[in-house]
Amino acid sequence: MKVAIYARVSTHDKGQDPDLQLKPLREYCKQRDFEVSGEFVDIGVSGSKDRRPELDKLMDLAKKRLIDCVIVWKLDRFARSLTFFVNALDEFEKLGISFISYQENLDFTSSAGRLMAHIISAMACFERSLIAERVKAGIANARSKGKQIGRKPIDPILTEKIIELRNQNFSFGKISKQLKLSVGVVHKTLKNLKPKDAENSVF
């Protein structure tokens, strides 16, 4: 089995040594007669980031199906986000790649490990549902108190200027530059005009 070892340390100036993770993983691979295709180590990179230089290289190797398994010293070295971890596991499964976490003794190549993966996935789904419910409740509560949710409406004077410039055949880009607005705001403003406002507009 061809495996890729992944390790990560948050800082490189506080005595954190990636070899503390790499040595036991190398020994583990040796004991199980795994062929190590590469070692990928991110130093000074937070685990909360989905994009990391060495992790990106590992994922590229996985997508090319040049490895059969990914091994990490501990789950939090690979991911801090449950959602990211579940998405990565799902991608590995589609690619036919196994995942092993040494410290937690989690081997997703086994039937028990696959069951654990399903449990983790269900937990992530539940977490997303809870977050969505809290966000909806927060928005509803804010609106009940008269608070503005989302972007504030554009000033009516600016709306009139946008219409005027558009009627002079100014492009969206030129209008945005002249009024110092984004092209998206200009486009949305014109799109959302009421019929009576649009009657005299040529756009």
Average pLDDT value for residue range 170-188:
86
Distance CA 66, CA 81 (A): 26
pLDDT, tens only, 120-158: 656 656 556 666 777 777 777 777 777 766 666 677 788
pTM score: 0.57
Is position 111 annotated as part of the catalytic site?
Answer: no
Cα(134)–Cα(8) distance, rounded to whole angstroms? 33
pLDDT tens by residue, 63-85: 999 999 999 998 888 887 777 88
Catalytic-role residue among 10, 37, 81, 121? 10
Give the whole-angstrom CA distance, residue 76 versus residue 47.
Answer: 7
